[in-house]
Amino acid sequence: MNADEGRPDIETIFHAQYERITRVIARVLRDPSRAEELAVEVFLKWSRNPSAQGENAQACLYRVAVRAGLDELRRESRRTRRERALGFFRKSPTPEDVRASREDQERVRVVLAAIQARQAELLVLRTQGLSYDELACALNLKPASIGTFLSRAEQAFRKEYIKRYGQQ
Amino acid sequence: MDSNKDQWVDERLAELRPDERWQPDVYRGLARFRKQGEKVRDRKQRWGWLVAGAIAAGLPLIAVPSTWASTRAFAQRCVSACVGQSNWVRDMFVHNVPSSVYVKPGDRRMAPDFVLNDASGEPVRLANFRGRVVLLNFWATWCAPCRIEIPWFFEFQNTHWSAGFTTLGVSLDQDGWDAVKPYVEGHKINYRVMVGNDDVAQLYGANSLPTTFLIDKSGRIAATHIGLSGRGEYEADIRTVLDEQ
């Protein structure tokens, strides 16, 4: 008896989940086209891991997606810091950069890149509308402790935000 | 539990909602997914073939004794290429080889005789050099340490010729004179060079290059240098053997 029998194939899951997964990543990143590229990488990574393709496929995909997005966000954040440090090498900002930097989105992204990875993952997936059970499944946490983790993550977010931008 | 949620944080996080007009293109994503998947498969396949090819090529070379000489020559060529490029590789592979052995006159064995043709086609017999101290150098044009030693041998030939000293070079290049002649002419080598073969190399046990023997006036092996020895070591051995009665 083949264990794969009855399991939907990878492309069917791709069709069903691609949009949601891309939206999770696009919440974190400023550039939607980069989010689409990363979503494909998420599916590739997931498709190479047979143990991630069981009943919890969706949860695994969310986990990999939010991590990929946050990793990319941190990379961007480090790059920006480096460019600021090397002020004379910095390119002049494009109108798009200027507009984006004025938006509150950018502040939220900076704060997400600064707090603990697990807390940022939890907050991003929560804003995507995942239930506590889905969050627990995606992040390998006990469902009963999700409330506590979420509360701590929110506190950490608020603290970091106020530290950087003040109470608004 | 939901009632405990921090409204302020939710409002901030809601800023991250992507533009509602933006729609991820599933079909473009799927095409990308297939293409990248194929790339990964191709890469794995290429590595698989590479490993299989290396094993398929290596096994017969190891299993069939008649190919050992060419395998060894190839390996030596690789090491020599590295040695020629980098000092630390030379230090690692060459300087650590016990390179110089001087034998006291009472313990020496006879140097096996051989006849090989020189560049002009004239036969050269080792036994004809009895009465002279002979430095017999096994080398090859591709061997980087050999190329380092050759200028020293020029000088020894010039300096000690009149004292009864001769240098002979035996090249073990598989391409024979095609490789050796241009090198000898290009570098104006001032001593006789012959092209050797596996039989002569076996007689002397010259398993690696360079290997050099110092043969005394009675035709016995007085010193053996395996690998790249120091110039001073050669000089000291030559003087010692020349001074022997």
Whether residue B107 sits in one domain with residue B57: no
Asked whether residue B72 is assigned to any structural domain, the reply reads no
Flag whether residue B11 sits within 8 Å of chain A, measured between CB atoms. no
Asked whether residue B1 is assigned to any structural domain, the reply reads no
pLDDT band, residue B238 (cuts 50/70/90) = very high
**Per residue in B47-101, pLDDT tens?**
888 888 888 877 776 677 666 666 666 766 666 666 555 555 555 554 444 466 7
Give the helix/strand (H/E) hosting A139: none
Phi, psi of B69, rounded to the nearest 5 degrees: -60, -45
Beta-carbon separation of B33 and A161 below 8 A: no
In this structure, what token pair is assigned to residue A22?
């891309």
Flag whether residue A127 sits within 8 Å of chain B, measured between CB atoms. yes
Look at residue B116 in the predicted model and tell me its pLDDT. Answer: 93
Asked whether residue A4 is assigned to any structural domain, the reply reads no
- Distance, in Å, from the CA atom of A42 to the CA atom of A24, rounded to the nearest integer, reads 11
Q: How far, CA to CA in Å, does A132 sit from each of A67, A117, A121, B2?
A: 18, 18, 13, 10
This prediction has a pTM of: 0.48
| Domain that residue B165 falls in | 99-243
Look at residue B130 in the predicted model and tell me its pLDDT. Answer: 92
Higher pLDDT, B137 or A16: B137
- Distance, in Å, from the CA atom of B119 to the CA atom of B136, rounded to the nearest integer, reads 16
Q: What is the CATH number of the domain that holds A109?
A: 1.20.140
Look at residue A8 in the predicted model and tell me its pLDDT. Answer: 62
Beta-carbon separation of B40 and A44 below 8 A: yes
Structural domains of chain A, count:
1
This complex has an ipTM of: 0.73
- pLDDT higher than threshold 60 for residue A68: yes
**Per residue in A124-153, pLDDT tens?**
888 888 888 888 888 888 888 888 998 999
- % pLDDT > 90, chain B: 26
**Per residue in B156-196, pLDDT tens?**
999 999 999 999 999 998 888 988 999 998 888 889 999 99
**Per residue in A77-111, pLDDT tens?**
888 778 777 765 555 556 655 555 556 778 888 89
Flag whether residue A42 sits within 8 Å of chain B, measured between CB atoms. no
| Domain that residue A131 falls in | 10-165
Look at residue A99 in the predicted model and tell me its pLDDT. Answer: 56
